[in-house]
Structure 1
Amino acid sequence: MSRPTITVLYFASASTATGLTTETVPIPESGQTLSELATILTARHPNASNLKEILDSSQWSVDCEMIDEPEKLVLKGGEEVAVICPVSGG
């Protein structure tokens, strides 16, 4: 049996840093909290410039729903997680 996976969508500076717009990421059978995902993504992309800082300042969306408390949301597999980077505009 294969491990559960999630789909991560990258936008703006997160996409630039990783060179990706999407990737499939395996997660533990027991699940993992959304707040732990930044550490996993940073480890998967050790050469991505400033990725940790980008993820730390970003918000998260799971299955098109903004998440206010990522430490309370447990990913089980099958979710689509978007990294929503801060934007500046004028």
Structure 2
Amino acid sequence: MALSQSITILYFAAASTSTGLTTETVPIPESGSLPLNDLPKILISRHPNASGLNDILESSQWSIDAEMVEEPERVVLKGGEEVAVICPVSGG
């Protein structure tokens, strides 16, 4: 029997506040891959009551295995990755 692949999502700042989580495991679809651009809609579907999550994810950047993603549309997750939601920060 094949093992289901998954990714680990790390939530920080507003994303953590919205979901009430700092980390979660998300399975990769049976196809064996998940385009990074599809991840926001999966996270939103997993947290339908998370206040403002859609807006937070739209304004956030992504980090995969501690490296910032410059072109999320070109990234396909295969399983085993650690994906961080990096919310915008404002200074004062």
**TM-score normalised by L of structure 1:** 0.96
Task: Give the residue type in structure 2 aligned to 1:2.
Answer: L
Matched, 1:16 2:17: yes
Displacement over 2 Å in runs of 4+: none
1:2 corresponding residue in structure 2? 3
**Unpaired stretches in structure 2, ≥5 consecutive residues:** none
1:75 corresponding residue in structure 2? 77
Task: Give the residue type in structure 1 aligned to 2:73.
Answer: E
The count of corresponding residues between Structure 1 and Structure 2 is 90
Q: How does 1:20-35 map to 2 (within 5 A)?
A: 20-29=21-30, 30-35=32-37
What are the Cα deviations for residues 22-63 of structure 1, in whole angstroms up to 9, with x where unaligned?
000001142011111001000000000000100000000000
2 CA distance for matches of 1:48 and 1:14? Answer: 9
Task: Give the residue type in structure 2 aligned to 1:61.
Answer: S
Task: Give the residue type in structure 1 aligned to 2:13.
Answer: A
Sequence identity, in percent? 69
Q: Which moved more, 1:44-53 or 1:23-32?
A: 23-32
| Aligned Cα root-mean-square deviation (Å) | 0.8
Cα offset for 1:2? 3.0
Q: Which moved more, 1:12-21 or 1:29-38?
A: 29-38
1:37 corresponding residue in structure 2? 39
Matched, 1:47 2:49: yes
